[in-house]
Each structure stands twice: as structure tokens, then as C-alpha cells.
A and B are shown apart, each in its own frame.
Chain A
Amino acid sequence: MASSMLSLASASASASASASLSLQENLKGKVKLGSVHFASCLPGKTNSIIKANHFGRISMSVALNASRFEGIAMAPPDPILGVSEAFRADTDEKKLNLGVGAYRTEELHPYVLKVVKKAEQLMLERGENKEYLPIEGLAAFNKATAELLLGADNPVIKESRIATVQGLSGTGSLRLAAALIERYFPGSKVLISSPTWGNHKNIFNDAGVPWSEYRYYDPKTVGLDFEGMIADIKAAPDGSFILLHGCAHNPTGIDPTPEQWEKIADVIHEKNHVAFFDVAYQGFASGSLDEDASSVRLFAARGMELIVAQSYSKNLGLYAERIGAINVVCSSAEAASRVKSQLKRLARPMYSNPPVHGARVVANVVGDPALFGEWKAEMEMMAGRIKNVRQKLYDSLMAKDKSGKDWSFILKQIGMFSFTGLNKAQSDNMTDKWHVYMTKDGRISLAGLSLAKCEYLADAIMDSYHNVS
């Protein structure tokens, strides 16, 4: 072993690419991570890697020949984001990307909202500085986002009973809340819907928060398993955190009705659970900001304490700017103030303070009545396009499918996504045969569908559903 290490050392001395390759090949399978120390095999050996201009000393310290990270496995690609990577690699001209939930125009181009461009232009003209934001983020943004969520006249806001901290879009806001739960409610569980957004479980796992699922999607009806949902929430230990999608459930597109929301609130109240909302589509689902916030407002109106994560990725098209917020509605202003201070204490060792750009865009759009009005119009347009596409897809399916299958769930579902009911093998067929990219759970993003492609997609779905099991 020692002699092969010596030869490796001299091989690595010439820092050419081919030497590295042979070094790599030699190392494969031979070297264990960490515990073996090779420097001791080479006492007093001049390391020719260190160039002469480093004082020409004989160096006792040779860099380890084995990587400390050799034993690390290649991680699998992200199930959602990996879909776009695969799509990009596909050269077939018929290919269709229905993977990631990012809005596309009818021409299937990404869309930057006009109000966003206007706001950015204004910001540039104003020549604002780039100083650090406070740990909790931009004050004007925090105020605007809480008011958007609950309504400016909401007693929660008037009584200052809400702790709002700017977060890194939905993910970052959820993570802060998870860290708060881990620290202040150790052992408490979060209940997530079955199914739910694929990253939810990762967030709670990494934050060290235990989780379990409540029944949600009923494949038989392609609708909500309401009784299962209520039963599972009831069965959870008192004081659990129940993760709810404020509107436009991801991935199913199936939302509870207002009456069902009331019942969900009842059982949460009864069990002293804490409702934890993920609001990623306010305004984007129905086209109306207020309507899409009605579930959250219903709970707040009951005087319940809540956690609400918000994202502006979709409704303001600010995906890459990472702008969102974590809100904690408390029973007193004093509690809200304390909770906010602890959220800050969690954010500081994660990234110190949040990015300013997206926050300023939101604050400018919401703060200017003209821009705010234009934003609402653009949101209605985006939501409207998706509703139109749903209709066309439904019509295409009903025209083509003579089996009598009811495809109306496509019209009943809401938001960017549709849960087609296709299983993994059928989803694979969609990709492999038809070059339609989607996630393996059968979810398609209607935001990535154009009216022009509805027929093609209908053919693909029909083939996969009827001919593949």
C-alpha cells in the first residue's frame, strides 16, 4: 500500500489532466475516507507540487493523496427540478415541459410581469443603496405582505398580533417556521397532506421536525378524501402542526370547499393543533387575492393562532428573486414580538439577512395604487389563461375518449397543477413515448401548456391511461 501511495504521490506531482485521471482511477475503490493518513508514509519527501518559489523548503507536509470526500455517493437529481434538466436534454421537437410550476405564456415563454419591469425601472431611477436589510427584512415589504394576506383592516394587523419576517420565498419561509417548531415545540409533529409538494418532507427532515401524513387525495374520485383528512387530523396528538395549502393545492389542484374549511378549523381548534398554511398561489389560483386568502382569513377570524408561509414566486413571477415571508399570528402583540425576535435568531446563522431586490419590487408594486391595480389585472390574465387551458384540455379529452371516463376533475381542480391520476408507469410513458415531461406522481403543470398543444397532450394522456398499466 505504501509503495503505491508513493507512486501516486509522484504521479500527482505533475499537475496535468491525464495525471489527475490516472490518480482518480487509482484511487477508486482503494482509498477509504478519512481514517488513513498518508503523510506519515512519506516522511521528509520533497513534495514537488509545492513550487520552488515557496521558499524551496523541503516540506514535511504533503497534501493527502486521498480525497476526504471519496466515499460520498452521487445524490439523485431533484424529482421536480430534475424534470426540467431532462427536458432540456431532449431534442425532440414535440417535447412539452409540464414539470416545474413556472408560468408560461401561450407561446410557452417565461413571463416577467409588466409591473415588475416598471418597478425595477423606478428602483433604478431612484438609485437606492444596497445596504444590508435588517435580519427580519424590508419593513415596507413585511407590512405589505401581512396586509395582502389578511387584509389591511384585519384586527390581527391592527392589534399588531402578527410576527412577519421576510424569508427566502416559500421554501425559506417554511424552513424558518420548521426551525422555530423544532426549537420551541420539540417532539411536536407536523402533519402534511398525502400527497403534498415534494420538498415539504425534506424541509421538515432537515429541520429535525417529525412529520406524518393525513389522507387528502382520493384516487377513486380524483377528489378530496375529506373524511380521511378529518379522521387523521383528529387522531394526531394534541398540539400538532397541520400543514395546509391555502389555495391551489400542490400537486393535486384539489381544494376544500368553504364548508369543509370550517370543519377543518373546527377539528384543529378542538385538538389544540396549530394551523400552518403554505400560501404560494395567492391571487394566482382564482385570479383574486382576497378569494385565494379566504381560508387563512377564516382561521384568523376565529381567533386561532396560525403560521403562514407566503411566496411571491408565482403571483408576481419573481421566482428567482426568492421573495416570501413567514408570518406567525399570535394571541397577543407581545407574543408576536417575542416570536419575531426568535425567528430573527434563526435567520441570522442561516444567511444573516434576506436579499433586498425582490422585497423592494413587491413593496413598490403593492405600495403604488396604479401598479397594484395593474398587478391584479396581470394576475387575472395569468389565472385566466390557465382556466382556458383546463377547459380546452377537458374538451379535447372528452372529444377523444369514448370510454365514458369522467375527465371533469380537470375543471374542478384549481391552480397551476392538475393531478391526472396517471401512475408512475403511465407518467413514464408520457415522457418516453410522447416527450411530455411531468413529475412521476402524475402531476402536470398547466402553466406550461398552451391551447395549441392541448390536443397533443390529450392524445398522450389517453394513450398512457388506456394502454399502459
Chain B
Amino acid sequence: MNKACSGQISARVVSERKEMNCGIHGVSFSSSATPSERRLSALARHLISPSESCSCSASGVSASITSSDVGSVFSHVARAPEDPILGVTVAYNKDSSPVKLNLGVGAYRTEEGKPLVLNVVRKAEQQLVNNRSRVKEYLPIVGLAEFNKLSAKLIFGVDSPCIRDNRVTTVQCLSGTGSLRVGGEFLTRHYHQRIIYIPVPTWGNHPKVFTLAGLSVKSYRYYDPITRGLDFKGLLEDLDSAPSGAIVLLHACAHNPTGVDPSIQQWEQIRQMIRSKGLLPFFDSAYQGFASGNLDKDAQSVRMFVADGGECIVAQSFAKNMGLYGERVGALSIVCKTADVAGKVESQLKLVIRPMYSNPPIHGASIVAAILRDRTLYDEWTIELKAMADRIISMRHQLFNALRDRDTPGDWSHIIKQIGMFTFTGLNVRQVSFMTREYHIYMTADGRISMAGLSSSTVSHLADAIHAAVTHVA
């Protein structure tokens, strides 16, 4: 029986394949089994007792074959586990406690704990709906032209040399994820180096996006759990030992999940390291304006890499800073040496996009363009953006003060040093479990909390929970 289990199995679907490859009473087959062979095996499995069933079935994720699966070509498709971040909200929803707190969600909440649609967004949408000449024709493959130009100006600055020299190509994509994926696919096809370095830790979806895009994912040190800050020495060492030309993923600001950003001086050293090694910087900019409250400040890191005349890639998301989460608005920019190269790069980006979804959705991009192009709306936006950023910073201070007032053991200054939506508390998995069980606080197991989910009225409950966790749970 086990002979068949060691047959050729594609690495990607090992857990699912194992079940199918189990030979039973001579009915053994490789991963290229025909549907009738698969059905035969499904049938055969019904006839053997549980004790005889293959010992190599994948742990936890194999499907239990029921009689109704007989004849399904999908019987070998295992159940995928629930997304870990979304699972937090699922658990939160099930809890009936009146004091429950959802600090898992990476979406802004008001003081009242409600989702927020910005006033400027509502105004822009009203304008769109009222516009009688508005049509819903396919956008070009690269998206809404005006949106692309304005997005580039937003991240690079209105008088950025790369815009002036026409050597940046910007294409509308599906928010940050879509921009990262399209960028990754482009690099796999057209760049000589297939390795991308991502920081430890990083957003959970990063490795999957780049792996499926065809890149090989390696990591560089980033977070130092002892200081709860940046492991700068480790970062530089790891970039130094990266092969020449390797791609480096950088969080433009408000690192997710740690909230730990390099200082401007550290950014300069990172830039020098990257340029001297000929590495290719790939920025993920998901929080411009949302981190500090200032759009230019939050774009400084990116702009440094344009000012030095070099090339870089930037994935932009408007999910958080414009509150357009579900509209999936983002842009991928590739800053090239010359306009000629940028033109060719753009033409190849179209070949990546067309077989993926043909062209991007118009609604969110139209809203962004309406806001960015209109001086009044733009100014209103910056005010609303600053208000969101300020509320989060205020929550940081309130939480820090509350822990200080309770004399909670430990140094909690990282709460106010870290920036952006998330705080990496430094709490361990046992402490996190404790907080969920005893205080109905929902957060991801890595100790990350979303400050956006806190309000003045709930800070003390969280502080109580942290205090109890730190003093009672090792």
C-alpha cells in the first residue's frame, strides 16, 4: 500500500494528493489517474474498513469520503482551512458576551465601533451617479487613465522626476493584493532574478501572492522581539547576503503586522545597501496618509528610491486611506530608467492582466479620480484622513497610559512608538488565548491588535485584559 504513496506527487498539492495516491488492493495509481480510476478508488475506499484505510492520508485536511461522493471528479479535493485572519472575526461573531472586542480586523472603525465611509467618498459617488453621461464601458486593460496619473502623483509627488521624465508606468489593479500579484507575475516573466526577500514577519498573504506569481520567497530579519522594534543589524546583514538583483519587498510605512518602521536615517542606509547590491526594491504602500496623517511623509521612503534615479516597483492600495476596501482599488507602478523601457514594460503588464481578469473594475477608481482631481474634495479628504490617523494615535496613547496607570509590568512604549493600524503587542499565544477566553478580546495569535478596532470606551477593558494576561500567564 505504501509503495503507491511514495509515488510522484507534485509538491504543491501534497496533502490532497496523498489521499488519492494510496494504493488499495492493487489499485495503485500516480497523480495522473484518470477520472474513472479516481472514481474506482473512491468506490474501493467504501469497501474497506477504517482500519485498513491508508495511513498516509494527510493530517487534518483530507476529505472524509461519504457515499454521496461516489462518482464525483472532485472527491480528491480536500477542504481548505479557514483563512487565519478572517477566522478571528468568525469566532468573534459567535461570542455573545456584551464586552467582546474585535481587534483582528484590519479595517478602520469609528469611536462607535462602526465601519466608516468617508464623506468625500459619498460626495464623489453622488457625483458619479448624478452624471448622466457616465457609461460602464470596459476600461482599458491598464485601467482608468486619469486614475493612473493621479495615483502616480500621489505616491511619487506631483513633480517627481520619474513622472516628469515619463518613465513610470502605472496600471490600475485590484487593490494592494492585485498590484502585488500582477507585479510578481511580471517579474517572473521578465526579470532575471526570481527570488524575492520578504521581512519577518509580514502580512500573511505576501508569501502566497509571490509564490503563486512564480517567485521564490526568502526572508530577511525585520522584527526584534526583545526590543519590540527593528532588527536593523539583522536586516542589513540579510540584504547584504542576498544574491545580486534579488527583489526586496519593503513596507512603505506602517509595517504590517508590527507597526515598526525604519527611521529616515535607517531608510537611507537601506537604500544604499539595496543600490550597492543591485537589488530591486518592491514597495507595498497600503497606508499612505493613514500612518502619520501626512501623505507626503508616508511616501518618503518610496520617494528616496526615485530621487536616486534608480528603478523600483510600488503597489498602492486605496483600501484604508480612502476607506474603499470592498471596491478593490489600487495601482501598480514600475519606475524605469527610461520612457522607452516604461512603454515596453506597460505593454507586457497588459499581457499579464488580460488573461487574469481582462480589465479592472471602474467604480472605485472613478471615486478616487474624482477626489484626487478636485482641489476641494482632495483637501476634505486629507482632513478626514488625518482624523482617522489621529484617532488611532490617540488610541495608542490611551492604551499606553492605561497600562502605565495599572502599573502593568513591562515596557509598553512600543505601543506609542509603532505606527499605523496595528500594534505588535509582544503577547504570546498563551496570553492571547487567555485574553480571548477570559476577556472576550479577539486578535490574531501573533499578538497583533488592530488599534482601529479600539475606542475610548473600550481601552480600559483591553488594558485590564493585558494586565491580567501579563501577570497571570507566562
From known contacts A39-B275, A67-B311, A175-B357, infer whether A75 and B351 are also in contact, taking CB-CB under 8 Å. yes
Are A63 and B327 touching (Cβ within 8 A)? no
Cβ of B309 < 8 Å from any Cβ of A? Answer: yes
* Interchain CA distance A127-B122 in the complex, whole Å: 8
Cβ of B350 < 8 Å from any Cβ of A? Answer: yes
Surface stretch bound by A, among B47-55, B186-194, B374-382, B400-408:
B186-194
* Interchain CA distance A252-B307 in the complex, whole Å: 53
Are B77 and A184 touching (Cβ within 8 A)? yes
From known contacts A37-B244, A320-B138, infer whether A75 and B347 are also in contact, taking CB-CB under 8 Å. yes
Cβ of A413 < 8 Å from any Cβ of B? Answer: no
Are A15 and B72 touching (Cβ within 8 A)? no
Cβ of B437 < 8 Å from any Cβ of A? Answer: no
From known contacts A20-B339, A349-B209, A354-B328, infer whether A341 and B138 are also in contact, taking CB-CB under 8 Å. no
Give chain A nearest CB distance to B367 CB in angstroms: 9
Are B36 and A239 touching (Cβ within 8 A)? yes
Cβ of A49 < 8 Å from any Cβ of B? Answer: yes
- Give per-residue flags for A377-407: 1 if the beta carbon is below 8 A from chain B beta carbons, else 0: 0000000000000000000000000000000
From known contacts A61-B273, A124-B126, infer whether A350 and B356 are also in contact, taking CB-CB under 8 Å. yes
From known contacts A39-B276, A124-B129, infer whether A320 and B357 are also in contact, taking CB-CB under 8 Å. no
Are A353 and B326 touching (Cβ within 8 A)? yes
Which residues from A are CB-within-8-Å of B70?
331
Are A51 and B328 touching (Cβ within 8 A)? no
Which residues from B are CB-within-8-Å of A39?
275-276, 278
Cβ of B201 < 8 Å from any Cβ of A? Answer: no
Give chain A nearest CB distance to B308 CB in angstroms: 5
From known contacts A70-B341, A238-B36, A339-B74, infer whether A322 and B275 are also in contact, taking CB-CB under 8 Å. no
Identify which of residues 189-240 in chain B touch chain A, using a CB-to-CB cut-off of 8 Å: 190-193, 205, 208-209, 211-213
Are A15 and B309 touching (Cβ within 8 A)? yes
Which residues from A are CB-within-8-Å of B311?
63-64, 67-69
Cβ of A4 < 8 Å from any Cβ of B? Answer: no
Chain A residue with minimal CB distance to B358? A171
* Interchain CA distance A203-B354 in the complex, whole Å: 8
* Interchain CA distance A12-B311 in the complex, whole Å: 13
* Interchain CA distance A352-B209 in the complex, whole Å: 9
Are A186 and B136 touching (Cβ within 8 A)? no
- Give per-residue flags for B334-357: 1 if the beta carbon is below 8 A from chain A beta carbons, else 0: 101111110111011011101111
Are B341 and A320 touching (Cβ within 8 A)? no
Identify which of residues 4-39 in chain A touch chain B, using a CB-to-CB cut-off of 8 Å: 12, 15, 17, 20, 23-24, 27-28, 33-35, 37, 39
Which residues from A are CB-within-8-Å of B181?
349-351
* Interchain CA distance A133-B276 in the complex, whole Å: 43
Which residues from B are CB-within-8-Å of A355?
174, 326-328, 361, 363-364
Cβ of B426 < 8 Å from any Cβ of A? Answer: no
Give chain B nearest CB distance to A208 CB in angstroms: 10
- Report the number of A-B residue pairs with Cβ-Cβ less than 8 Å: 329
Surface stretch bound by A, among B93-101, B147-155, B161-169:
B161-169
Cβ of B177 < 8 Å from any Cβ of A? Answer: yes
Are A335 and B69 touching (Cβ within 8 A)? yes
Are A351 and B175 touching (Cβ within 8 A)? yes
Cβ of A260 < 8 Å from any Cβ of B? Answer: no
Give chain A nearest CB distance to B273 CB in angstroms: 7
* Interchain CA distance A207-B178 in the complex, whole Å: 16
Give chain B nearest CB distance to A111 CB in angstroms: 8
Are A238 and B310 touching (Cβ within 8 A)? no
Give chain A nearest CB distance to B349 CB in angstroms: 9
Cβ of A423 < 8 Å from any Cβ of B? Answer: no
Interface size on A, residues (CB 8 A): 109
Which residues from B are CB-within-8-Å of A338?
63, 74, 77-80
Are A73 and B344 touching (Cβ within 8 A)? yes
Cβ of A255 < 8 Å from any Cβ of B? Answer: no
Cβ of B427 < 8 Å from any Cβ of A? Answer: no
* Interchain CA distance A17-B455 in the complex, whole Å: 51
Are A49 and B308 touching (Cβ within 8 A)? yes
Surface stretch bound by B, among A52-60, A215-223, A243-251:
A52-60
Which residues from A are CB-within-8-Å of B31?
186-187
- Give per-residue flags for B34-73: 1 if the beta carbon is below 8 A from chain A beta carbons, else 0: 1110010000000000000000000000010010111111
* Interchain CA distance A77-B446 in the complex, whole Å: 47
Which residues from A are CB-within-8-Å of B364?
355, 357
Chain B residue with minimal CB distance to A76? B347
Chain A residue with minimal CB distance to B324? A130
Chain A residue with minimal CB distance to B345? A69
Give chain A nearest CB distance to B35 CB in angstroms: 4
From known contacts A33-B192, A132-B107, A239-B35, infer whether A348 and B136 are also in contact, taking CB-CB under 8 Å. no
From known contacts A60-B272, A321-B362, A337-B79, infer whether A17 and B117 are also in contact, taking CB-CB under 8 Å. no
Cβ of B438 < 8 Å from any Cβ of A? Answer: no
Cβ of B83 < 8 Å from any Cβ of A? Answer: yes
Are B341 and A72 touching (Cβ within 8 A)? yes
Are A27 and B73 touching (Cβ within 8 A)? no
Give chain A nearest CB distance to B243 CB in angstroms: 12
Cβ of B423 < 8 Å from any Cβ of A? Answer: no
Give chain B nearest CB distance to A427 CB in angstroms: 21
B80 contact from A116, A344, A352, Cβ within 8 A: A344
From known contacts A239-B73, A357-B363, infer whether A131 and B326 are also in contact, taking CB-CB under 8 Å. yes
Are A184 and B327 touching (Cβ within 8 A)? no
Give chain B nearest CB distance to A222 CB in angstroms: 28
* Interchain CA distance A250-B78 in the complex, whole Å: 35
Are B348 and A345 touching (Cβ within 8 A)? no
B13 contact from A24, A168, A183, A237, Cβ within 8 A: A183
* Interchain CA distance A19-B73 in the complex, whole Å: 62
Cβ of A292 < 8 Å from any Cβ of B? Answer: no
Cβ of B271 < 8 Å from any Cβ of A? Answer: yes
Are A184 and B79 touching (Cβ within 8 A)? no
Which residues from B are CB-within-8-Å of A62?
275
Give chain A nearest CB distance to B459 CB in angstroms: 23
Are A341 and B79 touching (Cβ within 8 A)? yes
From known contacts A64-B278, A69-B191, infer whether A172 and B357 are also in contact, taking CB-CB under 8 Å. yes
From known contacts A67-B337, A337-B79, infer whether A351 and B361 are also in contact, taking CB-CB under 8 Å. no
> Would you list the 6 A-B pairs with minimal beta carbon distance, nearest first?
A63-B310, A239-B35, A61-B275, A67-B337, A61-B276, A356-B326
A to B CB contacts below 8 Å, 7 in the list: A37-B244, A47-B309, A55-B268, A74-B344, A199-B358, A322-B360, A355-B328
> Residues of B with Cβ closer than 8 Å to A?
10, 12-13, 16, 31-32, 34-36, 39, 63, 66, 68-80, 83, 86, 107, 115-117, 121-122, 125-126, 129, 134-141, 161, 164-165, 167, 174-175, 177-178, 181, 190-193, 205, 208-209, 211-213, 244-245, 265, 268, 271-276, 278, 280, 304, 307-311, 319, 323-328, 334, 336-341, 343-345, 347-348, 350-352, 354-364
> Residues of A with Cβ closer than 8 Å to B?
12, 15, 17, 20, 23-24, 27-28, 33-35, 37, 39, 47, 49-51, 54-55, 57, 59-70, 72-75, 78, 81, 100, 102, 110, 112, 116-117, 120-121, 124, 127, 129-135, 168-169, 171-172, 175, 183-187, 199, 202-203, 205-207, 237-239, 272, 274, 305, 313, 317-322, 328, 330-335, 337-339, 341-342, 344-345, 348-358
